[in-house]
Structures are given as structure tokens and as C-alpha cells.
């Protein structure tokens, strides 16, 4: 306890300099934590993917549709437990800046294949009965103040026109990583409108989601599905849900790499600041270290004091930075919910904060400690006064 008391007193002997250093570390840890959370949010869809779900899409591109008739053929393949389908609608709410992930889905199977989306039985039945109804996630409903029974109008971009839906349910995420910003409505409602306009998109879907009986059979089932539709007018590519999500993330891989690099650059910068603080501190106390040597203290004692002081300053800044990360992440996540529907500070991010702080504290003290240990008693005493 006496040692810790001494280290704390030494750390704040120069209060202004130490306070500015702690403030710099706090900002650096906050920035590092937020940047790492951005990276985690980028991969949130990948990490939350189910191992038992496959996605079947057109082999050319996801923008090309597949015939609805494929559903029953897929269902007959051994290892398939259930099949659902969906189409990306791409509507906007009020204006283009209000982006909402919205899908036309098979209402009878969507909540069976995605059990992480929790909807009460009453709301689920109301959703199924009303063909012009929709279900929205809790976060998106809170953002726009939607309530059960409200009429929501989406302006179609892929499918032109204004589309009115009645909100019959608000789902919640079963897990912290569940996306609560999506909107689902009846695929039949969309299909009926497409039939009236005599487009070739009628009776076609964007993709099929396949639930397999055993995750170990996923690769075999995927191969069997693609083999079934080989040489057809609409050949397929079937992949795991994780691989499907990863395909979208890979399009922006350069951005993710840049964010990662910047996060580590922040740590390098604060390491230089911390090293400068410790160098100044050690230089001011060379005379004190020389006196300690004359009293019989060895090099390890002096080095321990310098490393200890450096770690205390670093971890005070780290604690404040971590404490500030959570409210900052919540505020950032709310403001950027359109782009990052899942923005949670991961436990791994906190571990990285602590590890980075430890490295900064150690590296910053290496040169000052070496210099203090190596200086001779005579040279150190000459600096007194």
C-alpha cells in the first residue's frame, strides 16, 4: 500500500502535465474503442448469422430474381427442414435520407426461420391476416414514433409508387446482436401489384432462405440445390448465411482496413505523448534517483518506480476512456442507426483497450527507466539544484 501511495503521489507531482496526459489517453482510448466498435458493427450481420441457414440466390447477381416455383423443389431436397423467401423492396420513408431495410417476405415462415426476431402471437396473427400489414423492428419504430395501427407509406425505388402499410406488429431482438431496424410486409401484396403491371418480376423472388436439419449437412445441401437448377434459365448459388453476409462486407473491405489502421495509429500517437511525459518526469528526477542509489536502492527499484508511475497514469486514462466509450457508443449508434443497426461495445474491445494501455504504459517507460538506471551517482548528483 505504501508503494502505491508513493506512486500516486509521484504521478501527480506535476498536476497540470499529468492531467493533460491522462486527458490525452482518455480521448485516445475513447477514439480507439469507438473505431473498434465500428469494425465490430460492420461485421455484426456476419457474426449473428446462423450456421443452419443457407441463402439461395441467382448465380449471376442478387439483383436478378428466381422463380417462386423453386421453393417446392428446394423443399424436397434431403436435409432441408424449411424454406422461406424474400425480396428486397428498397422503399424509403418520407424522403431518401430515411433509409429503412425493408423486405417483402413469406409471412407464414419468416418468424419460424428467424427465431431471433420475437413477435407476440397476437401481433403475428394480425400480421398474417392483414395482407396490407407490416411488422417493424423496435428501434426503427421508436426512431419514427410508430405505434400499432399506424399507416406507414414507403416510396418505392425499385418498385415505383407510394405503398401504404398498416403496422400490425413490432418485433424485438432475442439477442443483443439481433437487428431491430428492419421492416417486413407481405410478398403476396407486392406480387399482386406486379401482376397488374404485367412485369416479368411477378411470381419471382429475390432469394430463398433454407433451414437445414443439421448444420453439418449445409455444404451437401447447398451443392444439391445448385445441382438441381444447373443449366436452367435461372441457375443458383447457395451459400451459408454467413458467407452471404460476408459478400456484402467484402465490398467495403478497404474502408474496414482503413478504420483498423487509424485505430492503431491513435494508440501509436498517444504512446509518443506518454513517452514524452515520462521522459520529462525522469529527467527532472535524475538527482532523486542518484540519492536513492546512494541509500542502497538498486536499478530494479528505480525502474519499478518509473514503470509503476507510467502504468498508473495510463490506466487512469484507460478507465476514464472506457467509462466514456459506452455513452458515446450509444449516442453514435442512435445517430447512425440507419447504417449501423447493431452498434454495441464488445467485450473484446474492452480487452483491447486494456492491452493497448498496458503496452503504452510499458513502452513509454522503457527509455526513461533505462536512462535513470544507467546514470552514475556522480552525474545524477550534479543535476541537483
Cβ atoms of 207 and 86 closer than 8 Å: yes
Which helix (H) or strand (E) is 205 found in, with range?
Answer: strand 204-205
Q: How many CB atoms lie within 10 A of CB 316?
A: 20
The CA distance from 107 to 359, in Å, is 52
For the chain, list residues with pLDDT below 50: none
**C-alpha distances in Å from residue 349, one per residue of 32, 39, 56:** 9, 10, 34
Query: What is residue 384's predicted lDDT score, i.e. its pLDDT?
Result: 53
Separation of alpha carbons 84 and 206, rounded Å: 11
Nearest Cα to 157, choosing from 207, 206, 92?
A: 92
Across-strand partners of 93? Answer: 154
What are the structural domain ranges in the chain? Answer: 2-44+252-382, 60-234
* pLDDT of the residue at 56: 94
Q: Which of 364, 375, 373, 374 is nearest to 302 (CA)?
A: 373
Q: Looking at residue 308, what is its pLDDT?
A: 86
CA 322 from centroid of its chain's CA atoms: 17
3-class DSSP assignment, residue 145? coil
Instruction: Let me know: does 317 contact 26? Beta carbons within 8 Å.
Output: yes
3-state secondary structure of 34: helix
pLDDT for 74 equals 94
Amino acid at each position: 500500500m505504501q508503494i502505491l501511495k508513493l506512486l500516486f503521489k509521484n504521478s501527480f507531482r506535476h498536476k497540470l502535465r499529468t492531467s493533460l496526459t491522462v486527458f490525452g489517453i482518455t480521448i485516445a482510448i475513447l477514439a480507439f474503442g469507438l473505431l473498434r466498435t465500428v469494425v465490430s458493427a460492420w461485421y455484426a450481420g456476419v457474426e449473428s448469422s446462423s450456421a443452419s441457414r443457407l441463402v439461395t440466390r441467382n448465380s449471376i447477381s442478387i439483383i436478378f430474381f428466381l422463380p417462386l416455383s423453386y421453393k417446392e423443389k428446394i423443399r424436397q431436397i434431403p436435409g432441408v427442414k424449411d424454406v422461406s423467401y424474400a425480396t428486397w423492396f428498397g422503399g424509403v420513408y418520407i424522403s431518401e435520407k430515411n433509409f429503412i431495410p425493408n423486405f417483402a417476405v413469406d409471412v407464414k415462415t419468416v418468424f419460424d426461420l428467424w427465431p431471433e426476431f420475437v413477435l407476440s402471437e397476437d401481433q403475428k396473427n394480425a400480421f398474417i391476416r392483414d395482407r396490407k400489414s407490416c411488422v417493424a423492428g423496435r428501434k426503427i419504430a421508436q426512431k419514427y414514433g410508430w405505434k400499432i395501427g399506424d399507416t406507414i407509406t414507403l416510396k418505392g425505388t425499385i418498385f415505383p409508387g407510394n405503398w401504404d402499410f398498416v403496422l400490425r406488429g413490432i418485433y424485438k431482438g432475442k439477442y443483443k446482436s439481433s437487428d431491430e431496424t428492419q421492416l417486413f410486409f407481405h410478398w403476396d401484396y407486392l406480387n399482386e401489384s406486379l401482376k397488374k403491371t404485367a412485369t416479368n418480376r411477378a411470381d419471382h423472388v429475390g432469394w430463398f432462405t433454407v433451414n437445414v436439419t443439421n448444420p453439418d449437412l449445409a455444404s451437401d445441401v447447398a451443392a444439391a440445390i445448385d445441382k438441381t437448377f444447373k443449366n436452367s434459365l435461372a441457375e443458383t448459388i447457395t451459400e451459408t448465411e454467413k458467407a452471404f453476409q460476408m459478400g456484402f462486407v467484402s465490398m467495403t473491405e478497404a474502408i474496414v482496413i482503413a478504420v483498423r489502421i487509424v485505430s492503431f495509429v491513435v494508440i501509436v500517437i498517444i504512446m509518443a505523448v506518454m513517452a514524452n511525459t515520462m521522459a520529462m518526469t525522469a529527467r527532472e528526477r535524475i538527482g532523486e534517483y542518484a540519492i536513492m542509489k546512494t541509500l542502497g536502492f538498486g536499478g530494479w527499484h528505480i525502474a519499478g518506480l518509473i514503470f509503476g508511475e507510467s502504468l498508473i497514469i495510463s490506466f487512469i486514462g484507460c478507465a476514464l476512456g472506457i467509462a466514456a466509450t459506452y455513452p458515446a457508443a450509444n449516442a453514435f449508434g442512435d445517430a447512425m442507426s440507419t447504417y449501423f443497426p447493431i452498434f454495441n461495445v464488445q467485450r473484446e474491445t474492452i480487452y483491447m483497450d486494456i492491452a493497448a494501455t498496458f503496452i503504452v504504459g510499458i513502452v513509454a517507460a522503457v527509455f526513461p527507466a533505462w536512462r535513470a538506471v544507467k546514470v552514475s551517482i556522480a552525474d545524477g548528483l550534479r543535476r541537483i539544484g
